[in-house]
Structure 1
Amino acid sequence: MGETGGMGETGAIDKTGAMELPGYVHLYSGKVRDLYAPLTAAGRPDPELLLLVASDRISAYDHILATPIPDKGRVLTQLSLWWFEQLADLVPNHIVSTDVPTAVAGRAVLVRRLEMLPVECVARAYLTGGGLGEYAATGAVSGIALPPGLVDGSRLPEPIFTPSSKAPAGQHDEPITFTDVVDLVGAERAAAARDLTVAILKRGDEIAAERGILLADTKVEFGVGADGSLVLADEVLTPDSSRFWPADLWEPGHPQPSFDKQYVRDWLTTESGWAKQSGDPPPPLPESVVAATRARYVEAYERLTGTTL
């Protein structure tokens, strides 16, 4: 999986706030990841490759928080690499190499450029979060009718595909139906995305269950390969893209303890004094919340992979 030394965000920072990496040009920074292109011998951005760097930034409620979580970028990158191996027989992925600049070693990968599907592909095995709110209002999630009487944390009869739109930065992704996905990408590609998303959730749930963890839901992203088939991209089955719950503490009827950033969301909405509707940025995280959040990310990585970060 490559070296994990040299983890600090060392190196010069350009006017966009991104690191300056010799031999690479900064293209874009999202909530958590920074994208760079390798420079060719002619000094131009490589048209085939991208450097995907996971930062220690953490986002909640469509805000990038002012306080980073140490080692978060390493966890997201190394856990994704581990999962890509576990899923290799289900779907190809975009990884080309983990030979990356020392300044970002362990938290960056060189990947193929892909045309990305304009859909957030989500699958759920349990009802919680935004799906719970949608169910409470309509009895369905993404147009899929569910049995009556489900509560927060209920296991669904079968995993379901509950896609959402890809909203511009700073805006909310909105739930959409499978029919909407067909309209966006065509029937064949929509079916492939649905089936692969559910298959990834099921495989992840099987593996996590052996380690005492429930995989409640997950979000994946697909690009289109040169032959037109779908390629798994970005991250996969990480605490940022999935809800992981300790199996021994699962108790439907209320929010579950988790190994993801739900801890940060809960602190923001219950203890910080910040109101989501205020329009103000969230406050900095106290050291105790940073330490507890880091511990959850690291525990998820170590329990799932069986190795020390």
Structure 2
Amino acid sequence: MTDTKPASLFSDLDVLERTDFPELGERVEGKVRDIYLQPSRLVLVTTDRHSSFDRIIAHIPGKGEILNRTSAFWFTETADIIPNHVIALPDPNVTVARRCTPLKIEVVMRGYLTGVTSTSIWTHYKNGRRDFGGFTLPDDMRKNDRLPQAAFTPSTKEATHDVTLTPAEVVERGLMGRDMLAKVEDTARRLFARGQALALSRGLILVDTKYEMGVDDSGTLTLIDEVHTPDSSRWWMADTYVDRIAAGREPDYFDKEFLRQWFIDHCDPYNDATLPEAPNELVAELATRYQKIFARLTGGSLTPRTPGHKLIERIRDNLAPFAA
């Protein structure tokens, strides 16, 4: 396993805040990715932007590469379960992908009774809910317990907050036909089981995750966007889980909440026009956490940088063959 890079060294890396490559086609800016639209493909450049509170709050050195390469790792590991959209990986920060029509739902899988938000499964459970539509939970569960069976909990795609739906509600709202929904659920369960098994072999628990799926021009269900990354998934350390739960403590987790909490303590991140700069030590800590989980999962480390060659220049050079 590759050693984690010390946090102090992350300050030597330049960050990728945004790109502007008009030769690649129309640019659409997502929260993290700059997406270049071409007739039959997308050029997805994963930046170091870090989003919370529906805005960019920091730039985390190395994050874009880690997200892109982690997804690439999982696309390869799950290709026998479902086709994916990858055409090429011309740069550590870039995926060239087939254009697909995204499904109208987010595909969410949960393995544990956890969460802190008002819409989390744990919040609903502690407030007395037991019937979750597609599954029912017993009365004697504690926070962070493993669910009796992995739960398929699809949700809407909203501009603000997604709404969790039962499978029956997905069909009733006309978001997906019953046969396609059954195929999506079966695929999601197999992806989640594969992810949990491989992660456990690396000392990690894949707690929950979301998948993006679409259909290609032939109507084939296809895995798109990102897979099992630190942004799309919740991860705990496996070796301390049992003892910490027995002691009534939270699991050891790879969580970004500490950076969110700093902003909550120092400003009104939802309403202030301008936010303070994230402290360097917190940015370095989060960069280290991304690198640590990347190394555990894939055995990889960040791509060495060429002295005097800026990251943006490397990406531009590597994308030259993919001009629209």
TM-score, L = length of structure 1: 0.83
State whether structure 2 residue 261 is matched by structure 1 residue 256: no
Structure 1 unaligned segments of length 5 or more: list them. 1-6, 11-16, 38-45, 100-104
Q: What SS does the corresponding residue of 1:244 show, helix, strand or coil?
A: strand
* Structure 2, unaligned runs of 5 or more: 1-12, 303-324
Q: Which has the higher contact order (CA 8 A, sep 6+)?
A: 2
Contact kept? 2:15, 2:61, Cα under 8 Å:
no
Residues 23-44 of structure 1, C-alpha deviations (whole Å, 9 max, x = no match): 212431111111102xxxxxxx
Select the residue among 283, 291, 294 that pairs with 2:287. 294
Q: Which residue of structure 2 lines up, in the alignment, with residue 229 of structure 1? A: 220
2:184 to 190, 193, 199: 193
- SS of the equivalent of 1:144 reads coil
> Which position in structure 1 is the counterpart of 2:55?
63
Residues in 2 aligned to 1:222 and 1:232: alpha-carbon distance in whole angstroms: 5
Code of the residue aligned with 1:299 in structure 2: it is K
Q: Report the equivalent of 1:176.
A: 165
- The 5 Å alignment of 1:1-309 reads 8=14, 18-37=18-37, 46-65=38-57, 67-99=58-90, 105-129=91-115, 130-137=120-127, 138-141=129-132, 144-168=135-159, 171-182=160-171, 183-250=174-241, 251-252=244-245, 253-269=248-264, 272-274=265-267, 279-280=271-272, 283-309=276-302
Asked if the contact 1:9/1:19 (under 8 Å) is kept, the reply is: no
- Deviations along 1:154-178, one digit per CA (max 9) or x if unpaired, are 111110101111112xx11121111
State the Cα deviation string for residues 202-234 of structure 1 (Å, max 9, x = none): 111100101110000010100102332210000
Equivalent residue, structure 1, for 2:316: none
TM-score (norm 2): 0.79
Query: Alignment partner of 1:231: what SS?
Result: strand
Name the counterpart of 2:8. none
Contact 1:221/1:234 (<8 A) preserved:
yes
- Quote the Cα distance in structure 1 between the aligned partners of 2:267 and 2:164: 26
Q: 2:14, 2:61 within 8 Å by CA — same for their partners in 1?
A: no
Between the aligned partners of 1:58 and 1:85, the Cα distance in structure 2 is: 26
Instruction: Write the deviation string for residues 55-76 of structure 1: whole angstroms up to 9, x where unpaired.
Output: 11112243321x2111100000
Superposition RMSD on alpha carbons, in Å?
Answer: 2.2
1:19 is displaced (CA, Å) by 2.1
Q: 1:131 to 1:88 in 2, by over 3 A?
A: same
Cα distance change, pair 50–187 in 1 and its aligned pair in 2 (3 A): same
Cα distance between partner residues in 2 of 1:154 and 1:290: 31
Q: Which amino acid aligns with 1:117?
A: L
Deviations 1:87-130 (A, max 9, x none): 0111110000112xxxxx31111001110001111001112112
Q: Residue 309 of structure 2 aligns with which residue?
A: none
Alpha-carbon separation, structure 1, partners of 2:18 and 2:281: 27
- What is the one-letter code of the residue matched to 1:135? Y
Asked if structure 2 preserves the Cα contact closer than 8 Å seen for 1:225 and 1:231, the reply is: yes
Instruction: Verify the 8 A CA contact 1:118 1:184 in the aligned structure 2.
Output: yes
* Aligned equivalents of 1:229, 1:50: Cα separation in 2: 18
Q: What is aligned with 2:9? A: none
Structure-2 change in CA distance of 1:88 and 1:151 (3 Å): same
Contact 1:60/1:264 (<8 A) preserved: no
CA distance in 1, matches of 2:130, 2:282: 35
Q: How many residue pairs end up in the alignment?
A: 278
